[in-house]
Amino acid sequence: MAVRERLSGNEAVAYAIKQINPDVMPAFPITPSTEIPQYVANYIANGDIDTEFIHVESEHSAMSATIGASAAGARAVTATSSCGMALMWEELYVAASNRLPIVLALVNRALSGPININADHSDSMGARDSGWIQIYAESNQEVYDNYIQAFPIAENEAVHLPVMVCQDGFITSHGVENIMLVEDDKVKEFVGEYTPKHYLLNADEKLAVGPYAVSNYYMETKRGQRQAMINAKKVILEAAEKFEKMTGRRYGFFEEYKMDDADYAVVIIGSAAGTCKAAVDHIRNTAKKKVGLIKIRVFRPFPEEEIACALANVKAVAIMDRSEMFAASGGPLGAEVRAAMYQAHCKAEAVNYFYGLGGRDITVSDFERVYENLEKMAETHIAVGMYDYIGLRG
Amino acid sequence: MEQVWEKAYNFKEVMNKPERLAGGHRMCAGCGGTVTVRTVLRALEEGDKAVIGNATGCLEVSSFMYPYTAYEDSYIHNAFENAGATLSGVETAYNVLKKKGKIKDNYKFITFGGDGGTYDIGFQSLSGAMERGHDMVYVCYDNGAYMNTGTQRSSATPQYADTTTTPAGKVSSGKVQVRKDLAAIIAEHHVPYVAQSTFTANFKDLYTKAQRAIYTKGPAFLNVLSPCPRGWGYEPSELMNICRLAADTCYWPMFEVIDGKWVLSYEPKNKLPVEDFLRPQRRFKHLFKKENEELIGELQAEVDRLWEALKKRCEL
């Protein structure tokens, strides 16, 4: 029987690590992800798992050692947030180009400066071009489920890419929710033994990792990574299907919430989707307007065609970004969704909103105003511009 | 039990061991780094498996240019500043996979970094790896500057050396500061074995130190003076002479720190003046101008001071 528990998002990830018992975990403390290595260290200290913990002296070394362990043939994981991920930046690209199936638990937090410890997506969105698969969660349950699914995705032969399992700092990482845990043996079976083909410690075949590749090889390497990212789409859905059979919980590239007949849609990532769902329900129950929500789960590989298809019949869409990229087009999700819509000749009006930067709260009534604006945009065909802000003081 | 490094040194036998760094790599003629790598890898017992690590630098870009590797062993290059951390991960993976019965063979772990990747940008990663006690050897092939990018000053660059970022000029005498004493700093990490060496006549010093470093359990650090013909400005054929002069002038003392005990490896019968080491090198050419005579005197005083301090540490 599955076990009902009350866990924070960090505890949920740590519990999944306990169930998976990876070989090596190098990690360095940083708020708000620190609890994950703490819990794992406790499991190790009590003999619950035989994972080797490496007490690295920085996040750069955390990812460097994770890369070393993974290349050597171990199942290697780590966890970090914000500036910790920024310090890993160089290594994120190395992990991806070496095609190492590392799983990184990322607890999203705003990047400095100014220094800020609260949730936004500037850390992972900044790393969106690094070649990592990125999977985001709305709730603690989703964090746990995504984490378990990350392994068969990363380690699939057609993929062999690192995976970032993202959750919103404090909101889910520290918020305690009811959660259904999968039985240990089922998790172990779902994830399976890690049996890499090529690794440094393979007695039958020596391996050299991390070459200097000049211009006659570099471009094909990148194309190879893109192919792996393309292949990942199928593998992500297969993992989700298998997971649904095991748990009954359904996952895809994104969740469509009341989108069947929706005229006005919000596209969003992460925990704020829950708040937006409350607004959708309230509007549908009171004003009887046809509003809906698309919550992105997989940002890399980006489900471009599927998103365009889901938005084909809406009149107006608000794309919500929880990170700044200082582009004329607005934020990263805005750029991706708009590009998908343009390519598919979508007719909907579109606006890109920045919200929740550095942990700024967003409320149900904020989302209600978003839907009101969408209705106005659809009527007048006058957009507010490429982007706008929610909750920004004047 | 006799330890491998205690066996009588037979030059011919050692030189006839199979090469673990294949020829055909792209390092320069007269490069000390390559000699260091070959000598250290030769110290592995035949039949022992190894994973070789490497910080970004001349050695890496010249010995593993896709799709060719010069290494007979498994090899990993990651980046410039993380050779210590990367091999930490490899060594830890080895321990856990061995414990879980997934691998059976015995492996040794040796990583190479230049002085830029070791004294400077990789210093933190090295310190962490040493402090955590991984069973690995970190070998710094110290050529005293960032040679891969064209002889920029590092914290290993000797005082008054002419480099591309500390050029000797009308109002400059080259690098201002004295070099960092990295071997002493790593010794203060209380690791079981630290040694400083270079290659002299029959390679015995470096070879036996490499053996001891590899076959001592726990972290070990070797700092090996590895001259660079392009950066230092000497004839490639002069490599061995330059190393000998570094040792005989006491510019580059050779010593071991074994479980905290300092042991001097070589004391020249006739300690030569430091200018004998400086003269054959283009990077010190400006010191031999009339107006710079006192700078050589300063360098001599610094060499003497460090030499006396080292002898005191070695209780001589």
Predicted confidence (pLDDT) at residue A47 exceeds the cutoff of 90 = yes
CA–CA gap between residue B198 and residue B141 (Å, rounded): 9
Q: Quick check: A214 contacting B, CB < 8 Å?
A: yes
CA–CA gap between residue A362 and residue A78 (Å, rounded): 30
Predicted confidence (pLDDT) at residue B107 exceeds the cutoff of 80 = yes
Supply the pLDDT for residue B121. Answer: 98
Predicted confidence (pLDDT) at residue B114 exceeds the cutoff of 80 = yes
Nearest to B74 among A51, A54, A206 (CB): A206
Supply the pLDDT for residue B296. Answer: 97
Q: Could you tell me the pLDDT band of residue B201, with boundaries at 50, 70 and 90?
A: confident
Q: Average pLDDT of chain B?
A: 97
List of residues 6+ apart from A288 with CB closer than 8 A: none
pLDDT in tens, B148-174: 999 999 999 999 999 999 999 999 999
pLDDT in tens, A142-192: 999 999 999 999 999 999 999 999 999 999 999 999 999 999 999 999 999
∠ CA B88-B89-B93, rounded to 5°: 120
Q: Which of B61, B90, B134, B136 to mutate to test the interface with A (most CBs of A within 10 A)?
A: B90
Supply the pLDDT for residue A225. Answer: 98
Q: Average pLDDT of chain A?
A: 97
Put simply, the chain A residues between 51 and 80 with a CB less than 8 A from any chain B CB are 51-52, 54-58, 60-62, 64-74, 76
Distance, C-alpha B297 to centroid of its chain: 27
How many beta-carbon pairs under 8 angstroms link A with B? 164
Query: Which is the CATH superfamily of the domain at A3-247?
Result: Thiamin diphosphate (ThDP)-binding fold, Pyr/PP domains (3.40.50.970)
Supply the pLDDT for residue B148. Answer: 97
Predicted confidence (pLDDT) at residue A384 exceeds the cutoff of 90 = no
**Average pLDDT of A60-87?**
98
CATH topology of domain A254-380: Rossmann fold (3.40.50)
Q: Quick check: A197 contacting B, CB < 8 Å?
A: no
CA–CA gap between residue A368 and residue A365 (Å, rounded): 5
| Contact: B78, A64; criterion CB under 8 Å | yes
Predicted confidence (pLDDT) at residue A39 exceeds the cutoff of 90 = yes
Domain A3-247 and domain A254-380 have a common topology: yes
CA–CA gap between residue B185 and residue A234 (Å, rounded): 52
CA–CA gap between residue B59 and residue B40 (Å, rounded): 14
Predicted confidence (pLDDT) at residue A1 exceeds the cutoff of 80 = no
Supply the pLDDT for residue A144. Answer: 98
**Average pLDDT of A90-94?**
98
Which ranges of A74-201 would DSSP assign to H, the alpha helix? 82-97, 122-126, 140-154, 184-191
pLDDT in tens, A224-281: 999 999 999 999 999 999 999 999 999 999 999 999 999 999 999 999 999 999 999 9
Q: Could you tell me the pLDDT band of residue B89, with boundaries at 50, 70 and 90?
A: very high
Q: Quick check: A91 contacting B, CB < 8 Å?
A: yes
Supply the pLDDT for residue A97. Answer: 98
Which ranges of chain A would DSSP assign to H, the alpha helix? 9-20, 35-45, 59-72, 82-97, 122-126, 140-154, 184-191, 215-247, 272-286, 304-310, 332-343, 364-380
Q: Which of A58, A94, A194, A206 to mutate to test the interface with B (most CBs of B within 10 A)?
A: A206
Tell me the domain boundaries of chain A: 3-247, 254-380
pLDDT in tens, A112-135: 999 999 999 999 999 999 999 999
| Contact: A68, B78; criterion CB under 8 Å | yes
Supply the pLDDT for residue A383. Answer: 77
Supply the pLDDT for residue B82. Answer: 98
Which ranges of chain B would DSSP assign to H, the alpha helix? 11-15, 32-42, 58-63, 83-99, 115, 123-132, 182-187, 204-215, 239-248, 275-278, 293-313
Q: Could you tell me the pLDDT band of residue B19, with boundaries at 50, 70 and 90?
A: very high
CA–CA gap between residue A390 and residue A364 (Å, rounded): 12
pLDDT in tens, B251-289: 999 999 999 999 999 999 999 999 999 999 999 999 999
Q: Verify cis geometry, omega within 30 degrees of 0, for the bond prior to A32.
A: yes
